[in-house]
């Protein structure tokens, strides 16, 4: 998933970007509001992390602009402004969350995960069908179709395909899959991911069909048709 991170503290921005990248996110950095606004116009993102006080254009103004354009992508403010009035102002312009500097890294990552889960859930609910490589997924019916063949799926298999649709042709780790499949539930043992992937493969890949789920040993999985 792609994150736009905007902070004029360059060392902090680079440090956060490095950590978020290690977590599997694609991070684009900007150090002032004018640059950030250009980037929001150039492409779409799954999450905006905005410092409140920025040169040229504030994070608050960027958030206002996004909401005026009906862009509903989650916005997380990072700021030293810690009064109740400040927090209310940030939420009133359309921010989804608010983290006061200095903050614990674990809390930032938890909030990022929560906002991205909420965003992906809203996107999934807004569409009944998802095209994943050469596979068509009917979410509500828990069915998939490949080469005219109907495939019945379990609830977790549907969620796994939803997850792969968010990261086509990218390496994803077992930990990322595990977190997505058991967002709010009590999770089973960690080796369950490999078991679900194995069951899904049996259903969506026959002997004469291109492989969709590729195991990258020691790292995770890659989803897509290799050319």
> What tens-digit pLDDT sequence spans the chain (227 residues)?
889 999 999 999 999 999 999 988 999 999 999 999 899 888 888 899 999 889 889 999 999 888 888 788 899 998 887 777 777 777 788 888 888 888 888 899 998 988 887 666 555 554 577 887 788 888 888 899 998 889 999 988 998 998 888 788 888 888 888 888 876 555 566 678 888 999 999 999 987 888 999 999 988 999 988 76
Global pTM value: 0.55
pLDDT at 203: 93
3-state secondary structure of 186: coil
Domain boundaries, the chain: 2-123, 127-223
pLDDT at 34: 92
Task: For the sheet with 2-6, list strands across it.
Answer: 26-30, 2-6, 47-51, 75-79, 97-100
For domain 2-123, give its CATH number from 3.40.1160.10, 3.40.50.2300, 1.20.1090.10, 3.30.70.260: 3.40.50.2300
pLDDT at 123: 55
pLDDT at 183: 62
pLDDT at 24: 87
In the chain, DSSP assigns E strands to 2-6, 26-30, 47-51, 75-79, 97-100, 129-132, 135-138, 143-146, 149-152, 171-172, 213-216, 220-223
Instruction: Report domain 127-223's class.
Output: mainly alpha
pLDDT at 85: 76
């Amino acid at each position: 998933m792609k994150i736009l991170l905007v902070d004029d503290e360059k060392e902090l921005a680079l440090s956060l970007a490095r950590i978020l990248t290690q977590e599997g996110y694609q991070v684009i950095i900007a150090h002032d509001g004018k640059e950030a606004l250009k980037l929001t116009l150039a492409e779409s993102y799954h999450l905006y992390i905005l410092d409140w006080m920025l040169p040229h254009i504030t994070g608050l103004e960027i958030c206002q602009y996004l909401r005026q354009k009906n862009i509903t992508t989650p916005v997380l403010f990072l700021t030293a402004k810690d009064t109740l009035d400040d927090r209310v102002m940030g939420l009133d312009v359309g921010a989804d969350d608010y983290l006061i500097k200095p903050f614990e890294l674990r809390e930032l990552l938890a909030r990022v995960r929560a906002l991205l889960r909420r965003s992906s859930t809203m996107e999934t609910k807004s569409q009944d069908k998802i095209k994943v490589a050469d596979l068509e997924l009917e979410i509500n019916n828990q069915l998939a179709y490949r080469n005219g063949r109907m495939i019945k799926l379990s609830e977790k298999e549907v969620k796994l395909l939803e997850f792969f649709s968010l990261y086509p042709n990218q390496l994803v780790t077992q930990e990322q899959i595990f977190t997505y499949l058991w967002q709010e539930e009590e999770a089973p043992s960690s080796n369950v991911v490999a078991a679900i992937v194995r069951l899904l493969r049996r259903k969506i890949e026959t002997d004469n069909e291109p492989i969709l789920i590729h195991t990258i040993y020691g790292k995770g999985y890659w989803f897509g048709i290799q050319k």
